[in-house]
Amino acid sequence: MFAVIRTGGKQYRVAKGDVLEIERLPGDAGASVKFGEVLMAGGKVGAPLLSGASVTGEIVAQERGDKVVAFKKKRRKNTHRKRGHRQLLTKVKITGISAG
């Protein structure tokens, strides 16, 4: 059985045992997390959310993603700007899905 959840402004298709990298959630490694915004689970589709459905997970690690470089240049003007960014991520292992 799989479910579609929404967190951090994105949607993820998850099944039991999956490990996801999502945007930073509060908590330390080993803490449990409950996702209440379930869009689809067990063949049921919400409009837009399923009432009573939830997905539980366990935080594996708090990490930072790879560096993304934003380089902007204006030709023939001797002007450029270089900025780097590393997104804060949380690694979550899905432990259970409840269709409600």
> What pLDDT sits at residue 44?
85
User: In angstroms, what CA-CA distances link 51 with 40, 46, 98?
Assistant: 10, 8, 11
Omega of the bond leading into 26 within 30 degrees of 0 (cis): no
> What pLDDT sits at residue 26?
95
Could you give the count of Cα atoms lying within 13 Å of 34 in the half-sphere of its Cβ? 5
In the predicted structure, residue 12 carries a pLDDT above the cut 80: yes
**pLDDT (tens digit, 9 = 90+) per residue, 18-73?**
999 999 999 999 999 999 999 999 888 988 899 999 999 999 999 999 999 999 99
**Between 84 and 1, where is the model more confident?**
84
> What pLDDT sits at residue 76?
96
Among candidate residues 55, 40, 41, the one with its CA nearest the CA of residue 1 = 41
What are the residue boundaries of the structural domains of the chain, listed by start?
2-98
> What pLDDT sits at residue 66?
97
